Amino acid sequence: MKFRIVMAQLNLLVGDIQGNARRVVESARQARVEQQADLVVFPELTLTGYPPEDLLLRPSLGGRIERALAEITGAGLECSVVVGFPETGDEGLYNALAVIHQGRRIATYHKQRLPNYQVFDEQRYFRAGSGPCLVELFGVRIAFTICEDLWSEFATVQASNAGASLLININASPFHAGKTGERKALLAERCRRGEFPIIYVNLVGGQDELVFDGASLAVDAEGNLRSLAPAFQEGLYPLDIEVEDRDGACKLLPGELAPEAGMEEQIYLALVMGVRDYVDKNGFGGVVLGLSGGIDSALTLAVAVDALGPERVQAVMMPFTFTSDLSRNAAATQAKTLDVDYGVIPIDGLYDAFTAALAEEFAGTGPDVSEQNLQARCRGVLLMAISNKKGLLVLTTGNKSELAVGYATLYGDMAGGFDVLKDVSKTMVYRLARYRNGLEPGTREAIPVEVIERAPSAELAAEQVDADSLPLYEVLDPILERYVERDWSAHRIVEAGFDRETVAWVVRMVDRNEYKRRQGPPGVRLTQKAFGRDRRYPITNAWQPGD
């Protein structure tokens, strides 16, 4: 005997409880008609989307959820479904799933392990459940768990002790680079420990800073990968289960194995999805960005075009005295290659007006970073004016390396609604640019080669290059990775072979520029510790770096 499970890897909208319930009904019907599904499994907190944050505290939440569940149970579905939702109980709110069979809820499970680290804050909202959930369907004893339950071995042991022949785990597991490999290794270990197959269904889509990559998968009792859904792609992915005997033992039959992306491809796809969903889910008609002729804005433009199409992207070159011919020509070339709306607005007049107004305040002083920042702020004013007039979202172009050490201007190049490269180091920016140029061999490069090969410069002063103010990025980025993402002490970084003075400078700059980052726009999270939700440091503090 066989039955078919369909992994519903959906891109849901946080807070759209009614709309998400309709997606469940429509997807279940589609899976039944097109794929002969017997059971359709949806992601964690399907009905609210993830993470719903303080929407979970709204007094009308319970009523909206009950109406959504009633819509699903009353839809006359010809297949069973598993759906995630927040359930209000006598003792509080639970992160729950329901098994709906033949129009009624036959089982409910409450998540037992509530993550409270990195981007997760579930203990703020939910109470922990207790006890396993075991349901016999299609002759098989199926246990159900939710996301974090699987990362602790207890849930597998609990399900095995309860007599499960199959475990289904629903997830809202956000992406970071290399996450698919971590999940595969974890599931293989859990399957061998429980001696049963595990089906892992994950959310897909962008939600503010988070991107969920999908990549739903199934692993057999021996730890072998049997099915892997495409990453960053919404869809319904079927799995066939063979029931082997009357005791309900079962095995997974081979399914689709999507090719796994390399590191640059993973990150690039995450950026594209993050931009697309942030723009579309927030109702913007398109985006505008300052195209400087540098590598960061060039990569941001390519991502925006791939996310939204050229017709929804506007690029503006805002040259000044220090803007090189290389920058002007490269920006124009890229805009033409990518076929975006492109314009040039010189800022000389704006800058002169500002300096004239400030002449008395600046009297008796020489030029310094104040004048450089004025240039960036002139550009920020122009972009925000275009945003207001046309309803376009301003994309900022700062990368993680620059933001870490404060090499950015508040209310200048940091002015905007979404920072595409916020969690991308400068060295990764170059890798991504080369990756993007290799996607369409035989065509003109999406990012001009001269932009990749030139020395990076903000062009805010004569003959300025980044290396005048910063360590080489090949030195800076490994230090930042250890200090920001791994939480190494300055002493430990020095012991790893880095120059003591350089480390001290980097650590000091990271710490003192928290106030800037706190005022910056959100951006796509790509690493295990991004600025924002992951890393929460006080602006005002007297902590001294050291051991």
- What digits encode the pLDDT tens for the residues 349-375? 999 999 999 999 999 999 899 989 999
Residue 473 lies in a domain: no
> What CATH number is associated with residue 94?
3.60.110.10
Residue ending a domain, among 467, 490, 509, is: 467
> What is the pLDDT averaged over residues 452-478?
85
**What's the mean pLDDT in 330-343?**
96
- Binned at pLDDT 50, 70 and 90, residue 412 comes out as very high
Is 439 domain-assigned? yes
Select from 233, 255, 277 the last residue of a domain: 255
pLDDT one-digit tens code per residue, 121-148: 999 999 999 889 999 999 899 999 999 9
Burial letters 209-247, b for 16+ CB under 10 A, else e: bbbbbbbbbbbbbebebbbbbbbbbbbbbbbbbebeeee
287 and 204, same structural domain?
no
Is the Cβ–Cβ distance between 321 and 457 less than 8 Å? no
Q: Average pLDDT for residues 444-448, to the nearest whole number?
A: 91
Q: Could you give phi then psi for residue 363, rounded to 5 degrees? A: -60, 135
List, for residues 171-202, the tens digit of each pLDDT value: 999 999 999 999 999 999 999 988 899 999 99
User: pLDDT grade, residue 546 (50/70/90)?
Assistant: confident
Kindly state the tokens that stand for 226. Answer: 């049997």
**537 found inside a domain:** no
Is residue 341 situated within a structural domain? yes
Torsion (CA) 516, 517, 519, 524 in degrees, nearest 10? 150
Spatial neighbors of 496 by CB under 8 A, at least 6 apart, are: 482, 488
Supply the residues annotated as catalytic: 44, 111, 147
Over range 392-409, report the average pLDDT.
96
Average pLDDT over residues 232-253: 88
Claim to verify: residue 388 and residue 416 sit in the same structural domain: yes
Mean pLDDT calculated for residue range 323-337: 94
283 & 245 share domain: no
Residues 286 and 239 grouped into a single domain: no
Are 327 and 227 within one domain?
no
Q: Identify the pLDDT of residue 476.
A: 95
Where does the pLDDT of residue 94 fall: very low under 50, low under 70, confident under 90, or very high at 90 and above? very high
Residue 205 lies in a domain: yes
- Looking at residue 478, what is its pLDDT? 96
Judgement on whether residues 22 and 170 belong to the same structural domain of the protein: yes
Q: Are residues 420 and 330 in the same domain?
A: yes
Of the pLDDT bands very low, low, confident and very high (cuts 50, 70, 90), residue 382 is very high
336 in the same domain as 248: no
Is 247 in the same domain as 277?
no
The answer to whether residue 487 sits within a structural domain is no
At 353, give phi and psi (nearest 5°).
Answer: -65, -45
Residues in CB range of 537: below 8 A, 6 or more apart: 511, 514
Supply the pLDDT for residue 293. 93
Percent with pLDDT over 90 in the chain? 82
pLDDT in tens, 509-541: 999 999 999 999 999 999 988 998 888 888 888
The answer on 41 and 150 residing in a single domain is: yes
* Whether residue 305 has pLDDT greater than 80: yes
What gap in Å lies between CA 325 and CA 313, rounded to an integer?
24
Q: How far is CA 227 from the centre of its chain?
A: 23
Question: Torsion over CA of 531, 532, 537 and 538, rounded to 10 degrees?
Answer: 130
The answer as to whether 172 is a domain residue is yes
The CATH number of residue 447's host domain is: 3.40.50.620
pLDDT in tens, 21-69: 999 999 999 999 999 999 999 999 999 999 999 999 999 999 999 999 9
User: What pLDDT does residue 374 have?
Assistant: 94
> Across the chain, what does the average pLDDT equal?
93
**Least confident window among 153-157, 215-219, 292-296:** 153-157
Biggest distance spanned by C-alpha atoms of the chain: 92
Instruction: Say what the pLDDT of residue 235 is.
Output: 97
Taking 80 as the threshold, does the pLDDT of residue 289 lie above it? yes
Q: Average pLDDT in the 470-494 region?
A: 94
Say yes or no: 177 and 160 in one domain.
yes
Domain count, the chain: 2
Out of 255, 282, 304, pick the residue that ends a domain: 255
Q: Point out the least confidently predicted range of 143-152, 381-390, 466-475.
A: 466-475
Q: Which domain holds residue 240?
A: 2-255
| pLDDT score of 502 more than 90 | yes
Report pLDDT digits (tens) over 98-111: 999 999 999 999 99
Amino acid identity of residue 69, one-letter, is L
| Sheet of 134-137, strand order | 134-137, 140-146, 166-171, 198-202, 217-219, 225-228
Mean pLDDT of all residues in 307-326: 95
Report H helices in 56-178: 61-73, 153-161
Band of pLDDT at residue 470, cut at 50, 70 and 90: confident
Residues 297, 437 share a domain: yes
**Cα angle 205-10-132, degrees, rounded to a multiple of 5:** 110
pLDDT at site 271 = 98
| In-domain check, residue 387 | yes
